[in-house]
Amino acid sequence: MVLWIVGKQRIGKGSLVRLLKLLNLSGFEKMTLSLILMGESHTRFDLAPYETKNFVSDMEITEKGKIDKDADWVLFNKVFEGDTVCLEERFKKKRSGTLKIKGIFIQNLPMIRIENEATIERSIIIPTLD
C-alpha cells in the first residue's frame, strides 16, 4: 500500500512522516522515488536496506517532469505488492526476497501522473487543505 500526501508548499505535509519516523526509528528508511521509477537496472544495490523496514518515504519528490515522461512503474509495484525483487548487497552473494514495506510519499502540487492501473490500485491519495 502507498499513501500519497499532496498539497501546496509549506503547509506541514511532512510533519506526519517526521512523527511516524520518531515513533518507529528502526522501521523507517528514506526512499528516492525517482530512482525506483528508473527500473531494476538502476537499483542494483538500493533495495536491500528496505528488507527490515516497516515503511519508507520520499518527502521531497523531485524531477517531476522526468518522472512523468520516463516512469517505469513495474519495480514500484513489485516493491509495494510483496513480489520477489533482487536484494543484492555490495560484496555479498546475490539473492532475492520480498519486501513488506508501506510507502508514504509527500508531494507538492501538481502531482506526478500515474497511468499504471496496478499502481493506482495500491495508492491512497490524500489532498491537503489550504
For the chain, how many structural domains are there in total?
A: 1
* Confidence (pLDDT) at 16: 86
CA distance 31 to 117: 22
DSSP secondary structure string for all residues of 22-63: HH-GGGEEE--HHHHTT-GGG-TTTSGGGGG-SEEEESS---
Q: Domain range spanning residue 63?
A: 2-127
* Confidence (pLDDT) at 25: 84
Give the chain's mean pLDDT.
90
CA distance 44 to 24: 27
pTM confidence score: 0.87
What's CA 80's distance to the chain center, in Å? Answer: 8
**pLDDT tens digits for range 19-60:** 989 999 889 999 999 899 999 888 989 999 999 999 999 987
CATH number of the domain that residue 107 is part of: 3.40.50.300
